[in-house]
Chain A
Amino acid sequence: MNGTLHRRQERAAWIFLGPALCLIAVFFLLPILAGLLLSVTDFDIYAIGAPQTARFVGLRNYQELLGGEEFWQALRNTLYFVLVGGPLAVAVSLGAALMLSAPRLRLRGLFRTIYFAPVVTTLVAVAIVWRYLYHPHYGLLNYWLGLVGLGPIDWLGDPRWAMPAIILLAVWKGFGYNMLIFVAGLQSIPEERYEAAAVDGASAWQRFHAITLPGLAPVFLFVAVTTMIGYFQLFAEPYVMTQGGPLGATRSLVLFMYEEGFRWWRLGTAAAIAVLLLLITLAATLIQLRLQGGRR
C-alpha cells in the first residue's frame, strides 16, 4: 500500500518535472553536448561551405589553445577581472546597501533608483558616455586627476590601465543589482538583535561584524557566486569599449571565443574555449562554495 503510493507520487513528480526537464535537455544539455563534439573537430569556414571537409582532430584544439599564448593571456585578463572586479563589485554593492538601509536616510527611494539606473541602461549608450569620461585629453576623469596634481592617464589606450578602466565601468554598471539583493537581506535581519547589541554596548563595527555579516551570509554566498560566474563571462564591456585592445590587454575568454568563432569562423576552437571556460567556472564555483560553505 505504502509502496504503490510512493510509486504514484514518484510518477506524479516526473510528470510535473517533465516539461522543465525536456526544456533543460533541449536547450541546455544538447547544446553542451554539441559544443563538446564541435570542440574535437576543426569546423571552420571551409566546413560551413562543405561539411565533409570538417575533420575529427581529437584534442588538438585544446593542445593549441593551451600551448599558445593567446588563451593564457585571455585567462589572465579574465582572472584579473574576476579577482579584482568581483570583490570590488560585491563590496560596493554591500556599501551601497548599508547606506540605503541607514535608518536616518531621507529620499531612500530616489537613491535606490539612481543606484539601480545603470543596471537597466543599455551598455552601448553607457559606453559612449564612458568613452568621453576616459578620454585622455578631454575626459572628466583626467581633469579630476589633474586637479589633485596627477598626470593624465591614457585609460583605454594604455595596456596597464585598460583593464582597471573596464573594471570601473563594469562595477559602476552592475553594482545596483546586488545592492538590491543585499537590501533585501538586510531587511530580513531582525531589528531586535541590533537593539540587544546596542543595549550590551556593542560599537557600530562590532554590530556590523557580529550581526550584519553573519545574518547576510546566505545572501553573501549567493551574491558572490553569481557575481563570479557573471564576471567570468566578461564580454560586452571590452567588446564595445576596446575590442580587446590595447595589445590584447582586455581580451577576455568570452571575447576571445567570440573572435575565434564569429570573426574567424574557427568554430572548433571556439567550442574548445567554451568547454574550458565551463570547466574553469565550475571549478571556481566549487572552490567558493567549499570556502564559504565551510565557514558557515
Chain B
Amino acid sequence: MPRWAAVALLCLLAAGLPGCGERRDEVVLSFWAMGREGEVVSELVPDFEREHPGIRVHVQQIPWSAAHEKLLTAHVGHATPDLAQLGNTWIAEFHALGALAPVPAGAEAFSPDATFPGIWDTNLIAGRAYGLPWYVDTRLLFYRRDLLARAGYAEMPGDWAAWRRALAAITASGAARYGILLPLNEWVVPAVLGLQAGSPLLREQDSRGDFSGAAFRQGFDFYLGLFRDELAPLAGSQEIANIYQEFARGTFAMIITGPWNLGEFRRRLPAELQDAWATAPLPGPAGPASGLSLAGGSSLVVFRESPRRAAAWQFIAYLLRPEVQRRFYRLTGDLPARRDAWAAPEFAADSTLRSFRIQLERVVSTPKIPEWEQIASRLQLRAEAAVRGALTADAALAALDADVDRILEKRRWLLARGLVPGGEEEAP
C-alpha cells in the first residue's frame, strides 16, 4: 500500500473513533453499559443528542462477566466513566468504595413512588439515593398449567401449604417426575423463603447473621421439606443440562426464575406447549401478600470523580422517560422501572407479564452491604450441605451464622467507630 493511502486510512479511522476530532465546547459523556443493554442502548442516544446539541454520549459495552472487576479497577485507577449501568445489588459495595455520586435533589427523574417501593429501596444507602432504577427484574414461578391441571389444580395456589400440596399432587399423580426444580447451586430460593417468613437475614444493623432465628428457620424447614419429600430433585443447575428440554419433557412442573427466561421459553419450548406454560407470583407463608421476591435489575449511577455529573444526570433523566423506557423494553425485553411505563397496552395484554407486575409490588432487597454476595455464597454452601444431608438443619444454620459473623467482623468494627452508615432506619 502506498504511504499516502495508509495515512488516509489512518485519518479515516481516527475520524470514525468516538471522541476524536470532537469540538472543544462539546461535553462527551462516557457511559458503561453491560451485556445486551450495552449492545442496544446506543440506539437511544441520537434522540438525546438532538435535544442536547452540546452533549455527546459515548457508550462503552462491557460484558457482564468482566463488569465488576473493570468497574473496581477503574475506580482504583481513577478512570471511572461519567455514568454506568450498575446491578442494583452492587450499589452498596460501590458506595462503600466512595465511588458513587448521590442523586442530586433537583435531578431526580421521577419521584420515588413512580417506581416499585422495593426497587427504589435498593438504591438507598442510609436514606440517600445513589442510583436511579433503569430496568427491573425479579423471580417468580414459571409453571406448566397442563401438569398442574392434571394434578387437579385449576390455578396456582397462593400460600405455602396449598403450594406444597399441589407439588405433592403433581408428583404423586405422575403428571411430572418432580414438582419443582430448585437448583442447589443457587442461594436465591432459601433466601427468598426466609424473607417471606419475615426474617431480616441479618440483625444489629446488618452486622450479624440472623439465620438461626425462628423466622428464617421456618422458611428453611419448608425448603428442606421439598427435597426430603422428593418434590424437588437433588441437583444443581449444571446437572440439569437443559432446563427448557426437561421442563418440556415434564421432569418438573415448576421453576423459579426471572424475566430473562420469558423470551427463552417462547423460543425454546415446542409449539404445542406454548399455551401450557404460565407465570405466577410466588406463594407466601400467609397467602399471596406475603409472597415476597427479590428486587433485582439495574440502576443508572453517576461517578463521584466525573466532572460532567450534571450532563450525566440529564442523560439519565432522558433514559427514564416513559416513552424511552418502552422503547428500551422493545429493544431488550427488559422490564421498565417506571410504573407508568407499564400502562402501555403491550404490558396489559401479556398474561406472563401481568404476574411480574404483581410480583414487582412485592419485592424486597437483600441486605445492602458490600459483604452480601459473600454471605449469599455461604448461604448456598450451607443450604446445599443441609439438603444433601451432610449437616442437620440446626448445624447448618449455626455454622452459617458463625461464617457470617466472621465475615462481618470488619463491619462491626467500622460501625463502632461510625465509619460506615448504619441501618436503613436512620434516614435523614
A binds B: yes
Inter-chain contacts of A76 with B (CB < 8 A): none
Residues in A whose Cβ lies below 8 Å from that of B75: 48
Shortest B299–chain A CB gap in Å is: 19
Q: Which of A204-254 touch B at CB < 8 Å?
A: 245-248
Q: In the complex, what's the smallest C-beta–C-beta distance from B271 to chain A, in angstroms?
A: 24
Chain B 201-243 per-residue mask, 1 if CB under 8 angstroms from chain A, else 0: 0000000000000000000000000000000000110110100
**Do B241 and A48 touch (CB < 8 A)?**
no
**CB < 8 Å: which of A49, A53, A154 contacts B239?**
A154
Q: B239 near A136 (CB under 8 angstroms)?
A: yes
How many Å lie between the Cα of A265 and that of B373 in the bound state? 11
Complex contact A48–B236 (CB within 8 A): no
Given contacts A48-B97, A50-B98, A53-B419, contact A138 B238 (CB under 8 A): no
Measured CB to CB, the closest approach of chain B to A120, in angstroms, equals 24
In the bound complex, CA of A48 to CA of B73 (Å):
10
Q: Which residue of B lies closest to A158 (CB)?
A: B239
Indicate whether A72 reaches chain B with its CB closer than 8 angstroms: no
Is A50 within 8 A of B419, CB to CB?
A: yes
In the complex, identify which listed stretch (A22-30, A38-46, A85-93, A97-105) lies at the interface while the others stay far away.
A38-46
- Given contact pairs A44-B410, A46-B414, A262-B69, A245 touches B239 in the complex (Cβ within 8 A): no
Q: CB-nearest residue of chain B relative to A247?
A: B384
CB distance from A288 to the nearest CB of B (A): 35
Chain B: minimal CB distance from A204 (Å)? 46
A62 to B76, CA, bound (A): 27
- Name which residue of chain A comes closest to B97, CB basis: A49
A265 cross-chain contacts in B, Cβ below 8 A: 72
Q: Are B236 and A157 in contact (CB under 8 A)?
A: yes
The residues of A that contact B72 with a CB separation of less than 8 Å are 48, 265
Q: Is the CB of A157 within 8 A of B370?
A: no
Smallest CB separation, A67 vs chain B (Å): 10
Number of interface residues of A (CB under 8 A): 25
Please name all residues of chain B whose beta carbon is closer than 8 Å to the beta carbon of A160 when the two chains form the complex.
none
B93 within 8 A of A: yes
A156 interfacial contact with B, CB 8 Å: yes
| CB of B362, distance to nearest CB on chain A (Å) | 30
Interface residues of A in 71-95 (CB under 8 A from B): none
The verdict on A46 contacting B236 (CB below 8 Å), with A137-B241, A247-B384, A262-B69 known, is no
Question: Shortest beta-carbon distance, A144 to chain B, in Å?
Answer: 19
Q: Does A264 contact B (CB under 8 A)?
A: yes
Minimum C-beta distance from B70 to chain A (A) = 12
Chain A residue at minimum C-beta to C-beta distance from B385: A247
The answer to whether the Cβ of B332 comes within 8 Å of any Cβ in the partner chain is no
Q: Is B165's CB within 8 Å of the partner chain A?
A: no
> Are B241 and A45 touching (Cβ within 8 A)?
no
B185 CB-CB contact with A under 8 Å: yes
Tell me the complex Cα distance, A202–B79, Å.
71
Which residues of A line the B interface, CB within 8 A?
42, 44-46, 48-50, 53, 55, 64, 135-138, 154, 156-157, 245-248, 262-265
19 additional contacts, CB 8 Å, given A137-B241, A154-B239? A45-B370, A46-B370, A48-B75, A48-B97, A49-B97, A50-B98, A50-B419, A53-B419, A138-B241, A157-B235, A157-B236, A157-B239, A245-B238, A247-B381, A247-B388, A262-B69, A263-B374, A264-B373, A265-B72
16 contacts between A and B (CB under 8 A): A45-B370, A48-B75, A48-B97, A49-B98, A50-B98, A50-B419, A55-B413, A64-B406, A154-B239, A157-B236, A245-B238, A246-B185, A246-B236, A247-B381, A248-B381, A263-B374
What 4 pairs between A and B have smallest CB-CB spacing? A49-B97, A157-B239, A49-B98, A264-B374
